[in-house]
Amino acid sequence: MRSIWKDILTALFMGMVLPGLVLNGAVMALDAPVETQPQNQPVLQSPQRQTVSLPVLVRHTDGTVEQMDMDDYLTGVVLAEMPASFETEALKAQSVAARTYACKAYQTGGKHADGSVCTQSTCCQAYLPQKEYLLQGGTVENVSKVRAAVEATSGYVLTYEGELIEATYFSCSGGSTEDAAAVWGAEFPYLQAVESPGEEDAAHFSDTFTFSPEAFQEALGVTLEGSPSGWFGAASFTDGGGIESMDIGGKLYTGVQLRSLLDLPSTDFTVSAGDERIVITTYGYGHRVGMSQYGADAMAITGSSYADILAYYYQGTELTLMDPEKLENGGT
C-alpha cells in the first residue's frame, strides 16, 4: 500500500511540477544572451578606395606593343626601378612618378610617337614582370608590398597648372638634385635643384674612376701637350653642384659632354691629375633631375609621406586623380 501511494505521489509530481520547471527553464534560455562564435562570424573590414583603371601601351623588347592595365604595369615598373626594401611611402612616391610618366606618354605620343613606353630605363622606364622578378630571387612578400603601394596611389598623377608634368627621376643625387635646364637645356619650374640629404648609404653616392693619360685623351678624342696636371683649367658649376663647364687643354666642355665621353654616372664630379694618372670622383648616379629615389627613401624613413616627398622634389605640383575618359581625350 505504501508503495502504491509513493507511485501516485511521484506521478502527480512529474505531471504537475516538472513541466513547470521545464517551461521556466526554456523561457530563461530564450532570455539569456546567445553565446557568439567569433570563428563563424564574417570579419568586417573598413572599405578600401577602389582602384582606377587606366590604360598604358607597353613596348616590349621585340617591338610589339601591348595595352595593359596601368596598376599591373606599374607593379613591374616599381619592382624594376626601386628596391622593394625601401620604405612604403617611397614606393608610393615612385608609383605616382611612374604613372605620371606613362600617362604623359599616352597623351603626347612620348618618345616612340605612338603613346607607348618601352621597358628600357635608359629610354623610358624599366619593367620587370612579376614572374621574372620571382625567378630572379625576389619574394612574394615584396611583390605584395609593391602592389599594395601601387594600388594605394591608384589613379594619382602629378600636374602643374593642370597639365601632366615631366616626372623624371633617378637613383641617387649625391647630395643635391639638378635643374632640368642644366642637363637638357629646357626650363621647367618644377624641376629645380634641391638639397637631397640622407643618401650617404646609397651604392653610388660616391664613385672613383682612374684614367691613364692615354686613355683620357682617347676618350675625349684629342691629343694634349705636357703633363696631365696642366691640362685642366677653370670650371664653373650649376646650382645643383654639377660641372657646368670645364676647360681641358684650352677647350671648353660641358659637364653633360664630359659625363658622356668619360662614361661617368653623374655630372657632379671632381678631378685630380698627376703625371701618370687622372682620378675623377663622382657624386650621385643618374641625370639628377626630379626625384632622387634614395632621397625619397631617406625622407620616408624620417616620417615623410609620399605626398610630402613628391611635393619636395617636384615643387609647385599637385596630386591629381586622373580621369580615364579625360586621359583618352588628352586632359586630366
| Domain boundaries along the sequence of the chain | 55-167+305-328, 168-289
The pLDDT value given to residue 111: 96
Q: Strand, coil or helix: what is 64?
A: coil
239, burial (CB in 10 Å: exposed 0-12, middle 13-18, buried 19+): middle
Dihedral angle computed from the Cα positions of residues 24, 30, 34 and 35, in that order, rounded to the nearest 10 degrees? 30
Identify the H or E element spanning 211.
strand 206-211
Q: Give the chain's mean pLDDT.
A: 88
Spatial distance between the Cα atoms of 110 and 56, rounded to a whole number of angstroms: 12
190, 315 contact by CB (below 8 A): yes
The pLDDT value given to residue 63: 93
Spatial distance between the Cα atoms of 295 and 233, rounded to a whole number of angstroms: 33
The pLDDT value given to residue 42: 31
The pLDDT value given to residue 49: 56
CA atoms within 13 A on the CB side of 214: 0
Q: For residue 240, which of 268, 259, 211, 204 has the smallest C-alpha distance?
A: 268
The pLDDT value given to residue 22: 35
Which residue's entry shows cell 526554456? 26
The pLDDT value given to residue 27: 33
Question: In the chain, which stretches have pLDDT less than 50?
Answer: 1-48
Which residue's entry shows cell 687622372? 278
Give rounded-to-5 percent helix, strand, coil for the chain. 40, 20, 40
What are 76's three cell numbers?
613591374
The pLDDT value given to residue 330: 73
